[in-house]
Amino acid sequence: MEIFHISAECYPMAKVGGLADVVGALPKYQTNAGHNVRVVVPAYDTKFKKENQFECVHWGSVKLGSFNFPFSVLKESTDVLGYELYLIEINELFDRPNVYGYEDDIERFLSFQIAALDWIIARNEVPDVINCHDHHTGLIPFLTQFAYKYEKLKDLKTVITIHNGLYQGWFGFDKLHYLPEFDLKHVGFLEWNNSINSLAVAVKCAQAVTTVSPSYLNEINYAANGLENLFNSVRNKSKGILNGIDIEVWNPLKDKMIAENYSIENFEIGKQKNKEKLCEQFELDPSKPLFSFIGRLFEEKGGDLLPQASALALSENFENINILILGSGNSEIESQLTQLRNDYKGNYNVFIGYNEELAHLIYAGSDYILMPSRVEPCGLNQMYAMRYGTIPIVRRTGGLRDTVIDFGDEGNGICHDQASVGDICYSINRAVKLYDDKISFNKVLKRGMEADHSWESVCQDYIEIYNLIIEKNEI
């Protein structure tokens, strides 16, 4: 089967969050399973782009209203990632270091989608399925069906995978003329609450909707930033598929980014060495339990709760615990977290920014990973953590609910229900007690390490959906 994944992110070409990890890994496993898989992302000015070889396989020009943007399609020459990677190069729009956050993001991602389809239609064969990811590629299921110039793709099947339903890519009808021409009787597909809502368009037009965990699929029926009714109405073509993790990239036995390799056989020594390195780097005490947070510092991830929860947990357990935070995002949260350094020197530290290598060392060297998310469509960090023998402390929501079970129920982690400072501190206190009971602690940790979250088992679920929509047009 020929499968296209079209996405704004793909690790290691361009990563902001978990979307990149998924689009960087799932295609590899689909390729291994015998499919022809092609991944298409914009050609941002990233390290990966600079350091790899590309050949131009197509060029053209995207017309956006009265603007014309020349574009090229660049194929990564060596298939170094285990699948074919294509970059859409539109210099005026993407020759910038960041993935998102520009005033013209709507124009950028619209041009990207149009250029990708222009290229696909210029090829000889029509793929079997396009898997779109999040709102940045949400117009594709509409354009393939209704834009005159993509007539040849009319019957092409599309899937929208929702990694985060809070962001929807809204824009006004004043930009309607940016879209390639289509029969106006279909304009209703574009509209949600008087604007064009890219995510809603995809949910309406794609043959299947997938979310990145089963619990998140249930949650968006009552919490989806205004799209609840829409999600309810498409339940019969929706499925929640829990993400996998790339167990080749995330393997404590082979990981070159950590200080000492280890497996479930010798994790005590291995983790201790990594912890020592980490604690030395951040002036922490390796004899105390280390609680870490890795991620974006936003409310959605419970980032706003971290400063107060850290201060409270550290003062209650003064001299008893370490807390280490790696992340960036909201500048208010960043500065609160930075200030805490002065008050809890030796027990607390923070690294503002993102650093993939440091993230690996933190998973290897921490005892607990904190995930106090308000919303977590899947969450990969808890799975990485467990694979590295680090016990997750999570708020029960979305994919966290599906992957972490409280140790009180013979599970692999520590869970609470409220996104509150009180609940986080309560969990930290339970974690401190568990840490002191080494036998129980190791039991919980091993349950996490033993779990199989590999893509191999999950990748088939996607193929099944593609097959159903190809054969029956529904799932």
Among 90, 380, 391, 465, binds ligand GLC (CB under 6 A): 380
Among 8, 10, 14, 22, binds ligand GLC (CB under 6 A): 22
Is 163 one of the binding residues for ligand GLC (CB under 6 A)?
Answer: yes
Name the helix (H) or strand (E) containing 169.
none
Tokens of 276: 């020592």
Evaluate whether 368 touches 292 at the Cβ level (below 8 Å).
Answer: yes
Q: Quick one: which segment of 15-23, 38-46, 320-328, 459-467 binds ligand GLC (CB under 6 A)?
A: 15-23
Q: Under rule CB under 6 A, how many of the chain's residues touch ligand GLC?
A: 14
Q: Quick one: which segment of 27-35, 378-386, 418-426, 445-453 binds ligand GLC (CB under 6 A)?
A: 378-386
Among 31, 158, 164, 322, binds ligand GLC (CB under 6 A): 164
Q: Which residues within the stretch 210-229 sit at the binding site for ligand GLC (CB under 6 A)?
A: 212
Sign for the CA dihedral angle at 210, 215, 216, 221 comes to: positive
Is 397 one of the binding residues for ligand GLC (CB under 6 A)?
Answer: no
Is 141 one of the binding residues for ligand GLC (CB under 6 A)?
Answer: no
Among 200, 224, 359, 378, binds ligand GLC (CB under 6 A): 378
408: Cβ–Cβ under 8 A, 6 or more apart, which residues? none
Evaluate whether 102 touches 112 at the Cβ level (below 8 Å).
Answer: no
CB of 20 to ligand GLC, least distance (A): 8
Among 17, 60, 82, 286, binds ligand GLC (CB under 6 A): 17
Sign for the CA dihedral angle at 383, 385, 386, 388 comes to: positive
183: Cβ–Cβ under 8 A, 6 or more apart, which residues? 146, 148
Cα 227 to Cα 193: distance, rounded to the nearest angstrom: 10
CB of 206 to ligand GLC, least distance (A): 17
Is 395 one of the binding residues for ligand GLC (CB under 6 A)?
Answer: no
Is 304 one of the binding residues for ligand GLC (CB under 6 A)?
Answer: no
Cα 472 to Cα 469: distance, rounded to the nearest angstrom: 5
Is 9 one of the binding residues for ligand GLC (CB under 6 A)?
Answer: no
Q: How far is CA 214 from CA 17, 160, 208, 210, 245, in A?
A: 20, 15, 15, 9, 16
Number of other CB atoms surrounding residue 239 within 10 Å? 18
CB of 38 to ligand GLC, least distance (A): 20
Is 379 one of the binding residues for ligand GLC (CB under 6 A)?
Answer: yes
Residues that bind ligand GLC (CB under 6 A): 17-19, 22, 163-164, 212, 243, 376-380, 399
